[in-house]
């Protein structure tokens, strides 16, 4: 696997492509007074032009409670169909802005917020990445499988993808 570190606009573009294509990421927060991580699946609403990742969530959730004590988070995206992976560490900011809630509201949110977009517990959540790393398959899953098998049989290394830091 080759290394390709990306910077600035290229890094944001890669982050946007992988996070929005995968959509659902595991959103990890820290549980106060323990070494435990709390992880839940969350749907990415947008990766903006600055590389910030946006979500909608509830102020009644465990995630919200954890963020009151520690704003550092980790996002993990796994597109196993295409062998693409993304790990992001960052800081969360919470907003009750109706403008942001309107912007990110969609039909899928109705499943989570039965009272609709006027539910007083809805919050917009912005993750500002401080560190990100990706693993990107250069080919589809089937070709990758054959490359790995050929490499194992021949003993010759094959370049099956890229990995690197995203410096945003």
- In total, how many domains does the chain have? 1
How far apart CA 124 and CA 42 sit, in angstroms, is 12
Cβ-count burial 65-99 (b if 16+ within 10 Å, e if not): ebbeeebebbbebebeeebbbbbbebebebeeeee
Q: How confident is the model at residue 161 (pLDDT cuts 50, 70, 90)?
A: confident
How far apart CA 102 and CA 94 sit, in angstroms, is 15
How far apart CA 62 and CA 143 sit, in angstroms, is 41
In tens, the pLDDT along 60-77 reads 999 999 999 999 999 999
Which two three-digit tokens encode residue 118?
A: 């006027």
Return the sign of the alpha-carbon dihedral for residues 112, 115, 118, 121. Answer: negative
The range of the structural domain enclosing residue 93 comes to: 2-167
Count CB atoms within 10 A of the CB of residue 17. Answer: 15
Q: How confident is the model at residue 105 (pLDDT cuts 50, 70, 90)?
A: very high
Q: Coil, strand, or helix at residue 12?
A: helix
Average pLDDT of 29-45?
96
Q: Residue 76 is part of a domain; what is its CATH number?
A: 2.30.110.10
């Amino acid at each position: 696997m080759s290394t390709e570190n990306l910077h600035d606009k290229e890094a944001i573009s890669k982050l946007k492509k992988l996070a929005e294509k995968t959509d659902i990421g595991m959103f990890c927060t820290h549980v106060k007074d323990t070494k435990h991580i709390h992880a839940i699946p969350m749907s990415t609403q947008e990766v903006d032009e600055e590389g910030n990742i946006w979500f909608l969530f509830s102020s009644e959730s465990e995630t919200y409670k954890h963020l009151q004590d520690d704003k550092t988070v980790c996002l993990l995206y796994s597109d196993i169909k295409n062998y693409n992976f993304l790990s992001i560490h960052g800081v969360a900011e919470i907003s009750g802005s109706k403008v942001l809630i309107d912007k990110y509201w969609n039909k899928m949110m109705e499943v989570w917020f039965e009272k609709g977009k006027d539910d007083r517990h809805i919050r917009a959540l912005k993750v500002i990445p401080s560190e990100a790393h990706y693993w990107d398959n250069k080919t589809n899953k089937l070709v990758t499988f054959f490359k790995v098998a050929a490499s194992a049989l021949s003993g010759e290394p094959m370049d099956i993808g890229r990995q690197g830091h995203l410096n945003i």
